[in-house]
Amino acid sequence: MPSDHPNRKPAGRRHLRSAAVSIALGAVLFTAGALGLSPQGEATSKSPAVQGASAHGGSVDALQQRVRHVPADPQAWSALGMAYVQQARQNADPALYAKAESALRRSLKVRPSGNDHAETAMGALAAGRHDFTAALAWSRKATTTNPYSSSAHGVLADAYTQLGRYEQAFDSVQRMIDLRPDSTSLARASYMWELRGERSRARALMARSLRAASSPAEQAFAHAHLSLLALDRGDARTALREARSGLRAAPHDSALLEARARAHAALGDTGRAVRDYRQAIAIAPLPHYLLGLGELQQSLGRREQAREQYDVLRAQDRVRQATGAAPDTDAILFEADHGNPRTAVALGRQAVTTRPFLAVHDAYAWALHQAGRDDQALVEANRALALHTQSALFHFHRGIIHQALGHTTKARQDLGRALAIDGRFHPLHAPQARTALRRIDGTR
């Protein structure tokens, strides 16, 4: 069984370390002749799941024409279903998931057995809906149907990761690399190392992912993630350079616009940051874009503008509740910081039951703290940092929880660690961390 114990090195980690060496040697031959949660962990329009599972895709219009003319083509139906999954994530439109399911069910009706493309896409669809137990079942089915499908092993890795089964996720990524060391597998390997606090290895693998990229979408993904990795170590200038490089090739990529917004904010250029956030939201009103812009506006004293973003977030969450979808970390953190902490606790409890991932434990911990339940909050905060993820936000949350419990030394360690990772990790919480440290040290 996988273990989250912080002092235990998982077996899968050893395997990927050797894989990283083989990639370093083999990438020269592969790319010369030949890629595709933050640690916030949310599935976004640029997640590895979307990259890998859509390898056999195409444009929605072209695929719709194909299935109209050849309705007995199971692969066209599965590709259309995966394209709808991509659109749903990119546009924050959960209604498209119903279209995706309809197309995929049609593919499975045409070819009920041996249809690993549709099974893989059903796994990606379930992951998009945050039903990771179903994602695990479908991806296991796909890897049984076709043990040599790199995409299926990628979706399997995503499901294991979000279910907190990290050793098995590592093993699945290793299998993906063994089958096809392309952009998608390199991106997932990078994320595995990022979760475990190995940021230099994560950067190296994502840089190889960029060099191996064979499409503008893969290049955009790699640049966006390299930008975020730079931000996570407090290097805003490198983050800005990576985002700009990606936007030259993909000027309407929302993930790159959000990355550039965060880089501008970290450099103090809040005017450009606000403009980039607004552009990203106009393309895809994803919850973490809305929350990021709202909290930036709030930090600038623009409460009315912040409230506009928060109102949209509330409307989105009402849609989520109506569809029965599971809450994500953005919804939990938003309620904890800007809404009702008791509601945040209920959302966190619901989320962590079905998705015991690091970022969910962190959000639940913060909700419990805001509701005054710090003993329980500390348990969840420790679970969030069980893999030693280098997250300034995670350390900040645990530091404030330690402070509330009177654990002065541990509070100082966590708050200092948060600011050492990135002194401007959050427009509201970074100043709060500095204030808390001054109070701990008795220098108000």
User: Based on the number of CB atoms within 10 Å of its own CB, is 268 exposed (0-12), middle (13-18) or buried (19 or more)?
Assistant: exposed
Residue type, 33: G
Average pLDDT per consecutive 10 residues, the chain (444 residues; last block may be shorter):
34 42 28 26 41 52 94 95 90 86 97 96 94 97 97 96 97 96 95 95 97 93 97 94 96 96 97 98 94 98 97 92 88 97 97 96 98 98 97 98 97 97 95 96 68
Whether residue 150 is found in the same domain as residue 199: no
**Domain count along the chain:** 2
Whether residue 170 is found in the same domain as residue 194: no
Whether residue 106 is found in the same domain as residue 154: yes
Whether residue 168 is found in the same domain as residue 219: no
Whether residue 174 is found in the same domain as residue 55: yes
115 lies in some domain? yes
Given a contact cutoff of 8 angstroms between Cβ atoms, the answer to whether 258 and 38 are in contact is no
3-state secondary structure the chain: CCCCCCCCCCHHHHHHHHHHHHHHHHHHHHHHHCCCCCCCCCCCCCCHHHHHHCCCCCCHHHHHHHHHHCCCCHHHHHHHHHHHHHHHHHHCCCHHHHHHHHHHHHHHHHCCCCCHHHHHHHHHHHHHCCCHHHHHHHHHHHHHHCCCCHHHHHHHHHHHHHCCCHHHHHHHHHHHHHHCCCHHHHHHHHHHHHHCCCHHHHHHHHHHHHHHCCCHHHHHHHHHHHHHHHHCCCCHHHHHHHHHHHHHHCCCCHHHHHHHHHHHHHCCCHHHHHHHHHHHHHHCCCHHHHHHHHHHHHHCCCHHHHHHHHHHHHHHHHHHHHHCCCCCHHHHHHHHHHCCHHHHHHHHHHHHHHCCCHHHHHHHHHHHHHCCCHHHHHHHHHHHCCCCCCCHHHHHHHHHHHHHCCCHHHHHHHHHHHHHHCCCCCCCHHHHHHHHHHHHCCCC
Give CA–CA dist 388/444, Å, rounded: 31
Whether residue 157 is found in the same domain as residue 222: no
The residue out of 284, 313, 341 marking a domain boundary is: 284
Whether residue 83 is found in the same domain as residue 197: no
pLDDT tens for 201-257 read 999 999 999 999 999 989 999 999 999 999 999 999 999 999 999 999 999 999 999
336 lies in some domain? no
Give CA–CA dist 172/178, Å, rounded: 10
**Integer CA distances (angstroms), 159 to 85, 91, 98, 286, 329, in order:** 16, 22, 20, 21, 16
Whether residue 148 is found in the same domain as residue 205: no
pLDDT tens for 76-85 read 999 999 999 9
190 lies in some domain? yes
C-beta neighbour count of 30 within 10 angstroms? 15
CA 8 to chain centre: 24
The residue out of 246, 265, 284 marking a domain boundary is: 284
Domain carrying residue 235:
185-284
Given a contact cutoff of 8 angstroms between Cβ atoms, the answer to whether 296 and 273 are in contact is yes
CATH code of 119's domain: 1.25.40.10
User: Cβ contacts of residue 17 below 8 Å, gap of 6+?
Assistant: none
235 lies in some domain? yes
Whether residue 212 is found in the same domain as residue 149: no
Give CA–CA dist 274/88, Å, rounded: 24
Give CA–CA dist 37/408, Å, rounded: 30
Give CA–CA dist 417/413, Å, rounded: 6
The pTM score is 0.86
Whether residue 47 is found in the same domain as residue 176: yes
Query: Over the Cα atoms of the chain, what is R_g?
Result: 21
Give the count of alpha carbons within 13 A of 322, CB side only. 8
Whether residue 120 is found in the same domain as residue 228: no
290 lies in some domain? no
The residue out of 180, 201, 220 marking a domain boundary is: 180
114 lies in some domain? yes
Whether residue 193 is found in the same domain as residue 88: no
385 lies in some domain? no
- Residue in the block written with tokens 């965060």: 262
User: Based on the number of CB atoms within 10 Å of its own CB, is 267 exposed (0-12), middle (13-18) or buried (19 or more)?
Assistant: middle
- Residue in the block written with tokens 């290049």: 219
In this prediction, residue 443 carries a pLDDT of 55
Among 133, 54, 128, smallest CA distance to 88 is for 128
Give CA–CA dist 212/104, Å, rounded: 30
20 lies in some domain? no
In this prediction, residue 261 carries a pLDDT of 98
